[in-house]
Structure 1
Amino acid sequence: MAIPDSVAHPRFADALRELGLEVEVRAFPDAVRTAAQAAAALGCELSQIVKSLVFEADGASVLVLVDGASRVDVERVREELGAGSVRRADPSVVRETTGYAIGGVPPFGHRVRTRVLADRGLLGHPVVWAAAGTPHTVFPLPPAELVTHAGATVADVRERTA
């Protein structure tokens, strides 16, 4: 069921308009804060969900986009950025940087422009789903378009599997 973009967070809806994007924003009565909840609600693979995670690299915020089935390898992020240290940002930094709460952070439309890394694994799907600014909303986009609109650099930042 298509839901008008008015269910998306207003800042995200503005970002869609500014980018000239028309996407189907879906809303769910129950929060889909985790990748597993979103995948179950959509009936898609866990790896088709985009996690938008904020880290701090040498004190500067960086957004990392990774598929829902993977974990971010902080050391690989550190190497990609050439940073001395990288750590997961706390919730207040996430909100201050993006303007959104954890569980609803979209891949673009943030309060502060930050560096963005997108894991190469996202490109393995024809369509991926990301948060639309709230824990109740998601939207689909081909991953190459998502990378472009997020201004992301494609990199290998997920944990390697054994």
Structure 2
Amino acid sequence: MHLPSHQYLDDRSIPYQKLSFSPETKKGAAHVANVLGYSERQMVKSLIFVTSIDEKVLVMLGGDQNAISGHLKKAIGSRNIKLASPNVVQAITGYAIGSIPPFHWQSSGFRSFIDASLMQESVLGVGAGEWGQEILMAPEDLVKAAQATIVNLCNKLQPVFESR
């Protein structure tokens, strides 16, 4: 199976591996990680948030992670954000929640963020756009494909932005 997300990576010569799992697998990163033999942290959640000015942003977290609200607001630059509804997610990405690829559907200027701790993993899994299909890739290749900004969203002891 060759999906638009695969074509996007092929067109940019970004390395990746295709994996499949049963579409009967229960939804959620923990279940995907279990059937594919990876840690939950390595299976990335692609979340869409909406700001008070109706900007939509993509936030990538490990399957076992939750963003710290203050860190997320600081990274996005808005104190008023909320998780997008399933209908908004579908309208923005073209995909139903559960297997949203974190690249290829964004318009110019769309902002994407990835939690810094994911850069320590050897490989990350992301949805390919169809439940039962997963893309594995190196963290730096995911950042490149998603044109993501690396920020600390989950560690309350570290600043949001890396000091330079």
After superposition, residues 13-162 of structure 1 pair within 5 angstroms as: 13-29=6-22, 30-31=24-25, 33-58=27-52, 59-110=54-105, 112-113=107-108, 114-158=110-154, 160=156
User: Are residues 73 and 123 of structure 1, via their aligned partners in 2, closer, same or farther at CA, if it must alter by over 3 Å?
Assistant: same
Number of matched residues? 154
The alpha-carbon deviation at position 20 of structure 1 amounts to 2.2
Q: 1:52 to 1:118 in 2, by over 3 A?
A: same
Q: Aligned Cα RMSD in Å?
A: 1.8
Q: Is the 8 A contact 1:50 1:67 kept in 2?
A: yes
Deviation at residue 140 of structure 1 after TM alignment: 0.8
Amino acid at match of 2:50: E
Distance 1:44 1:25 in 2: 14
CA contact (8 A) 1:107 1:130 kept: yes
> CA separation of 1:32/1:13 partners in 2, compared to 1, >3 Å: closer, same or farther?
farther
- 5+ residue gaps in structure 1? none
Is the alpha carbon distance of 1:41 and 1:49 closer, same or farther for their aligned partners in structure 2, counting shifts above 3 Å? same
Alpha carbons of structure 1 residues 145 and 13: separation in structure 2 relative to 1, 3 Å: closer
Q: Cα distance 1:155–1:22, how it changes in 2: closer, same or farther (>3 A)?
A: closer
Distance in 2, matches of 1:112 and 1:95, equals 15
Deviations 1:68-97 (A, max 9, x none): 111122331111122131100001111111
The alignment's TM-score, normalised by the length of structure 1, stands at: 0.86
